[in-house]
Amino acid sequence: MFNAEIRAQMEEKILPFWEKLKDDAFGGFYGYMDEDLQLERKADKGCILNSRILWTFSEAARTLNRERYLPYAQQAYRFLHRFEDEENGGVFWSVTFDGRPADTTKHTYCQAFAVYGLAAYYRLTGDEEALGKAMALFRVIETKCRDEGGYLEALKADFSPESNEKLSENGVMASRTMNTLLHVIEAYAELYRARADEEVRAAGEAGLRQCLGTIYNPEKRRMEVFFDADFRPLLDMQSYGHDIEGSWLLWDAAETMIAPSERESFRKMCLDLMENATERALTDHGLHYEIVDGKMNTIRAWWTQAEALLGLAFGWQETKNPKRLEQMLVQWKYIREVIVDPRDGGEWFNEIREDGTSVGKPVVEEWKCPYHNGRMCLRLLQADLPENM
Q: pLDDT tens digits, residue range 285-316? A: 999 999 999 999 999 999 999 999 999 999 99
Q: Provide φ and ψ at 290, rounded to 5°.
A: -165, 170
What local confidence, expressed as pLDDT, does residue 24 receive? 98
Structure confidence by residue, pLDDT tens digits, 144-201: 999 999 999 999 999 999 999 999 999 999 999 999 999 999 999 999 999 999 999 9
Banded model confidence at residue 202, pLDDT cuts 50, 70, 90: very high
Q: How far apart are the first and last CA of the chain?
A: 7
What local confidence, expressed as pLDDT, does residue 389 receive? 87
For the chain, the average pLDDT equals 97
Distance CA 59, CA 288 (A): 29
Number of other residues whose CB lies within 10 A of the CB of residue 281 = 24
Distance CA 74, CA 121 (A): 8
Structure confidence by residue, pLDDT tens digits, 224-281: 999 999 999 999 999 999 999 999 999 999 999 999 999 999 999 999 999 999 999 9
Structure confidence by residue, pLDDT tens digits, 319-375: 999 999 999 999 999 999 999 999 999 999 999 999 999 999 999 999 999 999 999
Distance CA 79, CA 26 (A): 9
For the chain, list the domains and their CATH numbers. 2-382 (1.50.10.10)
User: Which residues have C-beta within 8 Å of that of residue 110, sequence separation ≥ 6?
Assistant: 47, 48, 51, 91, 92, 93
User: Which residues have C-beta within 8 Å of that of residue 344, sequence separation ≥ 6?
Assistant: none
* Mean of pLDDT values over 367-388: 95
343, 294 Cβ separation under 8 angstroms: no
With a cut of 90, say whether residue 140 has pLDDT above it: yes
11, 3 Cβ separation under 8 angstroms: no
| Residue type, position 253, single letter | A
What local confidence, expressed as pLDDT, does residue 387 receive? 85
User: Which residues have C-beta within 8 Å of that of residue 42, sequence separation ≥ 6?
Assistant: 96, 97
Distance CA 144, CA 158 (A): 10
Distance CA 224, CA 215 (A): 6
What local confidence, expressed as pLDDT, does residue 388 receive? 85
**pTM assigned to the model:** 0.98
Buried b (16+ CB within 10 A) or exposed e, 208-247: bebbbebbbeeeebbbbbbbeeeeebbeebbbbbbbbbbb
With a cut of 90, say whether residue 284 has pLDDT above it: yes
